[in-house]
Amino acid sequence: MIPLAPLSLASPTPASPPTPAAPPTPGQADGRLARSFERRRAGATCGLFPYLTAGFPDVATDRALAAAALEAGVDGFEIGVPFSDPLADGATLQRANARALEGGATLDTALDLAGYIRQRAPDTPVVLMSYYNPLLQRGHRQVAADLEAVQADGVIVADLPPEEGASLHQGLAERSLALIPMLAPTSHTARVRAVAALDPAFVYCVALVGVTGARQDLSQTLGDFLGRVRAELSAPLVVGFGVATPEHVRRVAQLGAAGVIVASALADLVERSPEPVAAARAYVSSLVVAAHGRSSDDLKDQGLPEHR
């Protein structure tokens, strides 16, 4: 990705500290991610990781969406930290960020959601996705302490290139937390090797050149991109940006990715549905079926409609 300068952000509305989960076992964060990918690898299937913007459309619904996703059988979560200038995001997630911020959501809202998930799913990986400024404002070591307190597993920082992430990486590593790097189709070999040197828990592979947002089709060069990355590193590859349908998920799984993240399409559904939790449960269930290599009959057995 193109290195971006840290952006200014107005002081957030004060929020109560996140509620800690039970004391973690040393190294548990890295272990949750590794175990999740190993389960999928052993079954020759792909993990499904929904993205939820913390505080969108509101805190109560966000928690209900997380619970519905757990019921659907997801393999982990990416939780977005609301930010005023989400440069990597398209219109859908820009609206989600704006609505969450209007409701008073902050980094602490994302931490609270991570803790809520951890209380209900002790072995399900939870990774935050943030832009750099909220983390920089709080301080690297405090961010790591806060992530550890709610038993999150790490953080993705969309505008922090690996060459500038040493301090945050060290702060997280001291608490066995992961800094997840991102690679794009435009990433050159030197950047891929720099990411490999970090020995990451997984690599977020951006499926397209552009911002987030549901697409009708995946890039025809996605397989070549994943192959180029895989030639330089052994970490699990998780694909996001533009993935919207069960067919997309199946294709990503067939290309050998360890996981897939679905974000904008889910946010679109939540935004337009009169019953967002029920709609999200059915949609995420269809994605899980596709990722895990099962048939649409599994949805029928659950009494859920098949999404196309």
Structural contact between residues 183 and 209, judged by C-beta atoms closer than 8 angstroms: no
Reading the block at residue 65, the tokens are: 């969406």
pTM of the model: 0.84
Q: Phi, psi at residue 34, to the nearest 5°?
A: -60, -45
Per annotation, catalytic residue among 78, 146, 148, 153:
78
pLDDT at 302: 46
Residue 14 lies in a domain: no
| Residue 49 pLDDT | 98
Can you tell me the distance from the alpha carbon of 2 to that of 170, in angstroms, rounded to the nearest whole number?
A: 22
**CA–CA dist 277, 283 (Å, integer):** 10
Whether 267 contacts 234, CB under 8 Å: no
- pLDDT for the residue numbered 177: 97
Residue 177 belongs to some domain of the structure:
yes
Residue 221's pLDDT is 86
Where would I find the H helices in the chain?
28-42, 59-72, 91-102, 107-120, 132-138, 140-149, 166-173, 189-197, 222-230, 246-254, 264-272, 276-291, 297-301
User: Is residue 117 assigned to a domain?
Assistant: yes
pLDDT of amino acid 147:
98
What's the pLDDT at 9?
34
Cα–Cα distance between 119 and 20 in angstroms, integer?
9
Does residue 164 carry a catalytic annotation? Answer: no
Handedness of CA 205, 123, 214, 83 (dihedral sign): negative
Domain membership of residue 73 as a residue range: 31-301
CATH of the domain at 39: 3.20.20.70
Is 306 within the bounds of a domain? no
Residue environment code for 219-251, b if the CB has 16+ CB neighbours within 10 A, otherwise e: beebbebbeebbeebebbbbbbbbbbbbebbbb
Q: What is the number of domains present in the chain?
A: 1
Instruction: Give how far Cα 103 sits from Cα of 56, 91, 98, 99, 135, Å.
Output: 8, 18, 9, 6, 20
Residue 30's pLDDT is 57
Rounded Cα distance, 128 and 51, in Å: 9
Q: Is residue 261 part of a domain?
A: yes
Domain contains 13: no
Tokens of 203: 């690599």
Q: What is the pLDDT of residue 117?
A: 98
Q: Is residue 286 part of a domain?
A: yes
- pLDDT per residue as tens, the chain (308 positions): 333 333 333 333 344 444 444 444 434 455 999 999 999 998 889 999 999 999 999 999 999 999 999 999 999 999 999 999 877 677 888 899 999 999 999 999 999 999 999 999 999 999 999 999 999 999 999 999 999 999 999 999 999 988 899 999 999 999 999 999 999 999 999 999 999 999 999 999 998 655 454 555 677 789 999 999 999 999 999 999 889 899 999 999 999 999 999 999 999 999 999 999 999 999 999 999 999 996 555 445 544 444 44
Structure tokens at 277: 């939790």
Interacting residues of 68 by C-beta distance below 8 A, sequence separation 6+: 277, 278, 280, 281, 284
The catalytically annotated residue of 62, 89, 112, 148 is: 89
- Over its C-alpha atoms, the chain yields an Rg (Å, rounded) of 18
Annotated catalytic, 78? yes
Q: How far apart, in whole angstroms, are the C-alpha atoms of residue 170 and residue 263?
A: 28
Per-residue confidence (pLDDT) for residue 1, from 0 to 100: 38
Per the domain annotation, does 137 fall within a domain?
A: yes
Q: What pLDDT is attached to residue 44?
A: 87
